[in-house]
Every structure is written in C-alpha cells, then in structure tokens.
Structure 1
C-alpha cells in the first residue's frame, strides 16, 4: 500500500495514516529549532494515544527521546543512541518502519569513505523500487578486479546479483549463487569495458520489478533479470577487490 507523497506541509501538520506491520514512512525535512517531534497516534484527537513519540533534541544535549502515551500517561523514556544523525539547518531523510513488536527509525544508509572490503546493510524491508548509488575509484596501480554482491540477510547466504569487474579480461561478469551453486554467467555489455585505474565512477543499481538495472555515469550498461524472489530477502551489499569506495547510498 503506497500513499501519495505530501510536499512542504505547514508545521504543525497532522494527517491520517493506516500504519501496520511491514509499512514504512519516508520523511524529509530540515531542523530549524531546538527540537522537533514525530508522533504516530491512534487517532486525530489531541489526547489520542501515541504509539511512537520520536523527539530529537539539540539542547541542552543532543539526544533522541522515544516514548509512548497511553490513557493520559507517558511511559518510560528511551534515550540511548549510538550517534546523533541530525544537524541544525541541514536537510535529512529518514525511514520509520513498523514491525510486529517494534518501530525502527533510521536514515537511509549513507556510508562515506568506508574502506573495502565492506558489507552495507540494506535499510529497507523491501529493496524493490529503490536504488543503490556507489561512488568509487579503481586502484591506480594494476587493479585486478572488484566485486559487488547483493546478498540475502543471514541465514540466507544466496547472492542475488554478483557483479565482477575484471580488468585483465576487460569484462563485467554477472551471475548469481543460489543454494551454494553458481548459475550461468552473463558478460554482454552495451558499451566497451568502462573502468580505468584512478578514474572515478558512479554506479546506480535500480532494483526494478523484473531485473536489476545498472547505470554507470548516467548510461545504462546492463540489466540482470531476477533469478530468485522475494526481493525482501536481500539484506546486504558486499564490496571486495581493487577499488576505493567513497560513498554508498540507499535511496
């Protein structure tokens, strides 16, 4: 179930929403004061129960307070966080995912200069309809190859798409590994081998209904049809080999 986006609402803002396990909210904004809050309420009334009170505060300390409000009383606050992801005056985007027994709130994953090898966790319950943007540079001294693997979340170790860029062969080999066995390789490209040592690249992997559509520097270079479903089982993207990665973003 998808709700049409609402752009630039006047704050404070209230809307009706049928939240249930498996659904998520995608929010964008820019903090302008000492705090803001997002309340998932059981109704539109002012005193309705609040299933999730999400309250980032910039002063006197940077903290994110989470709580519930039931039958006229606040519950026990939760404050522990590993880092504070918001900055005054800077745009943010975040996802609130409703699960059976909890809410998960987090920004879509953004990794800057993470180093290789890297395993990036998928921040969505279903990768379909999203895209992965990868900025990197092949190592400038005789790179051999580098690999991106879209892999199932444990205990699912299947590889849904293996993209292996090989400099000696000047090929980008695609494959899948299901139940411990490699499938048939795909090697045809719409363009000549596009990578060069020391030359930056931008790869965007579009996760579409029938395939992964891979775009390099604005040009589509191949499509890899899905060999396993559901795509909800994809849980991480692994990076290996002769490349530096400057940024990975899930959108």
Structure 2
C-alpha cells in the first residue's frame, strides 16, 4: 500500500531552483511555512518571497533576503506596482555558509514571525493583506531540501475515524468523499519547538492510519536519542526508535513483559547525521508501523504488541532538538 501523506502535511522534497509554486489554499493566520536547506559554501545571497501571483513582476508582500556582502545582514521589504517600499534591515546573519538550516515563517495576525534554527529572528508587519498572497518563490545560493506548508486551521481535539482533520463535521457538511477515507489521521494540533524530554498523549490510543510527524535537529555532539511509543499504564514500549550516533545505526526494538526483544538495525540510509535536520512521518497500520524520513521510506516495523491500540504515549528524549511534533 502506497504511503499517503497526512492531511496538512505534504512536503515538497529537494525542489529545484528557482522554486515558484502556489501556496495550497492561500495564506492564512495560523499557517507556518517550513523551509529546510543548506547554505552554499560560496553563498552571497538568497531570497524568499511571498508573492501576490506567480508571474514575473507580481507584487511581493514579504521579501526576506539574507546577504553575505561584507556587511552581513538580512533585508526585509515589500514590492508593489514594481516599486520597493521602505527597507527594513537586521545586521545579523543567522545562516552559516556550508551549513544546514531550518527557516520557519509563522503567519500571525499582525506580522510574519521568522524563526531560524529554532530561534526567533524577526517580525515583519503586514503591508499587504496576507489573503492576497498566493505563491511562494525561493531562489539564490542555497540547496533546498524541503518546503512544507502547515496549518491554517486548528485541528479538532478528536477526529472520528474516516474523517481527516481538515474535513469538518456539522451542518452544511456531508460525509467525506470516498477517496479521503484512507487518509492518515492526526488528532492533535502541532507543537512548535517543544522541550526535550518530550511527552505527548495519544488521545484514543494508537489507531490504524494515525500518523505522527516529528521534525528536529541532531546536535553535532549528539550521542543518542530515543523515540518511544509507550503504554502508559504498564511502561511497555511497542516501538523504540534509537539513533546511536557513535555507532552510526538506528536501532528498533520493543520492550514487552519486562524484557527487550531482538533488535532491528538494517536501513537503506541513515537520516540522523550529526548537525542534520530530519523530518519523520510514522504511520500506524493494522500490522506494522511504516516510517518515512525526509520523504523516503526508512523502515517497516511489524507490531510485536498485538493490542497496539493500548499505546497512548509518545516519548522523545536524549540528544535531539525538536522543532515540530504533531500527534
């Protein structure tokens, strides 16, 4: 069965430059735009533009422009009718040549909030109504790894099976179309930059099609961290994902009835390198977990706990920084 990205979670991986694409559903308060990439060794500048239209010469509601030019700075502006407005600048450079980065634009009522590598960097007040923004444009001296548009509407606290989070119930809404019935389910709103150790409760337990999204960063000095799907009442671990940086392996196992089972170690690739960002999607199926990293299938893990619905907690601890978790 092919993997289907969860509603509201459909990243574009390794896009070519220039990137110029519509923003799904347009821009709205509560959305976040995640951009992961690597600054080139010879980086001079790059730009992220929130565009009013996708053609050359379209107005730019928000121009974000880091410049390495001897006076390292980031420039912010708006272009309307072919004319630039008053430039705002911050003489600080949060990007390093040759290094990976995570750039987040949070769309708030009064402004865009820019977060770089987990640290708040700048707030740019809206000069054009954000509802006018239709496209995102990225170009310059960087390599893009992923672009993702998240949120825009608060997810309900509980989602009935068969109804994806973005499909509301109630008067005026019928049953979801048949093709949506197999979409994964996420039941909670996202959490941004949660502290580690992290504990999240899976309301209603672990059910088929439930998808967990984890985005984070492995510090350069990291040795090990763990992601656990846990039965809170007994402490049993249905799935233990344990990247061990000093060994260069990702161990998977279960801890049931007081003892560990056989380890699984083989992988087609290891996404958890020191100093690297990762993007995990963990989907529960009827007979196994399916785990994807950075858009590629990483491994399947057959259920060893037959009553996997008893799993009601997600734990993450160790040498990792989290930027986004949705359960």
Normalised by the length of structure 1, the TM-score is 0.57
Q: Measure, in 2, the Cα distance between the counterparts of 1:96 and 1:188.
A: 36
Tell whether the 8 Å contact from 1:110 to 1:248 is kept in structure 2 after alignment.
Answer: yes
Confirm whether residue 236 of structure 1 aligns to residue 298 of structure 2.
no
Map 1:106-125 → 2, pairs under 5 A? 108-125=188-205
Deviation per residue, 1:95-141 (Å, 9 max, x gap): 4479xxxxxxxx6142211111111111334432111000000012x
Out of 288, 295, 300, which is 1:218 matched to?
Answer: 295
> What's the Cα RMSD here?
2.7
Of residues 223, 246, 255, the one that matches 1:144 is 223
Q: CA deviation at 1:162?
A: 0.4
Divergent runs of 4+, >3 A: 87-90, 95-98
* Secondary structure in 2 matching 1:232: helix
Counterpart secondary structure, 1:93: coil
Distance 1:121 1:220 in 2: 25
Query: Against the structure 1 CA distance between its residues 245 and 129, is the aligned structure 2 distance closer, same or farther, given a 3 Å change threshold?
Result: same
Which blocks of at least 5 consecutive residues in structure 1 are unaligned? 1-86, 99-106
Query: SS of 2:312's equivalent?
Result: strand
- Given that residues 154 and 189 in structure 2 are in contact (C-alpha distance below 8 angstroms), is that contact kept between their aligned partners in structure 1? no
State the match for 1:25 in structure 2. Answer: none
Contact in 2 for aligned 1:116/1:240 (Cα 8 Å): yes
For 1:184, the equivalent position in structure 2 comes to 262
Other-structure match for 1:246: 323
* In structure 2, C-alpha distance between the alignment counterparts of 1:232 and 1:209, rounded to whole Å: 10
Match of 2:273 in 1: 196
Q: 1:128-157: per-residue Cα shift (whole Å, max 9, x none)?
A: 2111000000012x210111000012x221
Equivalenced residues, count: 157
Q: What is residue 103 of structure 1 aligned with on the other side?
A: none
Paired position in structure 1 for 2:245: 167
Contact 2:197 2:317 in 1 (8 A): yes
Change over 3 Å in CA distance of 1:126–1:185 after alignment to 2: closer
Q: For residues 164 and 92 of structure 1, do their structure 2 counterparts lie closer, same or farther at Cα, with a shift above 3 Å needed?
A: same
C-alpha separation in 1, matches of 2:319 and 2:194: 14
Structure 2: stretches of 5+ with no match in the other structure: 1-107, 110-130, 132-151, 161-186
- Contact 2:222 / 2:274 at 8 angstroms: preserved in 1? yes
1:17-37 residue CA offsets vs partner (Å, 9 max, x unmatched): xxxxxxxxxxxxxxxxxxxxx
Decide whether aligned partners of structure 1 residues 188 and 96 sit closer, same or farther in structure 2, where only a CA change above 3 A counts.
Answer: closer
Tell me if the contact between 1:120 and 1:237 (Cα under 8 Å) persists in the aligned partners.
Answer: yes
Evaluate the alpha carbon distance shift between residue 114 and residue 188 of structure 1 in structure 2; reply closer, same or farther with a 3 A threshold.
same
